[in-house]
Structure 1
Amino acid sequence: MTYEKIKEEIKDASLVLVGLGEELTGELSGFYKELAELLKNKDYFIVTLKDREGLEKAGLQKDQITAPVEEPDNQESWDQYLHWLSFTLNQKLCVLELGVGFAHPNLIRFPFEKTVYFNKKARYIRVSEKFPQLSAEIADRGETVKEDPVALFVK
């Protein structure tokens, strides 16, 4: 899957759920700006294990981001995420997982797969150098890219 194909998938979706994981490294400001451009005019939510402040500086909306590892006591942003997520069932949802490994699989990897499993209109895109595999239950509605997400987005 190419970056252009990812852009098409996001464009075609009604809602976009993004997970940013611990594998994201290097200069992330350009990556965040590219992500902000990709999500422009979309209904999205971001769950990040990284730098919430950097996402906000790139123009992504504060109330559409939760950082459960960075801000473990911030129940409000997590509740906003769960509320948003409750409206995604039976919607055309694109789940974009970028650089997520197994440091905290209970926050992004496993819940995102479960969301796609139950939403038959959902599409899953996993970009990861180390762990690009999809579970068999959702493989028919997903794509994987074995590449560094930052390099893929910032060319």
Structure 2
Amino acid sequence: MRLEPGAKAPTWKLPTAEGTKLGLADLKGKKVILYAYPAAMTPGCTTQACDFRDSLASLTAAGYAVVGISPDKPEKLAKFVERDAITFPLVSDEDKSVLTAYGAYGEKKNYGKTVMGVIRSTFVIDETGKIEHAFYNVKATGHVAKLRRDLGLD
């Protein structure tokens, strides 16, 4: 199941790299960029996280909060935050229930084989909790620049 613009974003409250919990309700009144990635500290996911980190000031200035979500344990996320100076929240969805609700977990092609896994995706959620954009099967490299163009920030 994939989310469409106008749909209500599935709610969530998940553990963060810092050991606290963060939920969509905590960000009410803000525009949220929630991006799903397969695994912390892998080359593509590191590139994508660093692109978001490097664009964070301009995204924040435009009213967006950025949150990364993966099935990694909070301890691994904490290492990722420290190693790569990630300056926005990363949340852990170990049972993949939130990723599944967003359509960001399921069958995908990996090197020609069909496997179950995280589908690299980005969701833009408006201040009222509705999906503005749902991008599936995005590329790790260049995605943030494309997202900025799609949002009219460049």
- TM interval, shorter chain, is 0.3 to 0.5
With normalisation by structure 1, the TM-score equals: 0.37
**Structure with more helix by fraction:** 1
**Structure with more strand by fraction:** 2
Larger RCO (CA under 8 A, 6+ residues apart): 2
With normalisation by structure 2, the TM-score equals: 0.38
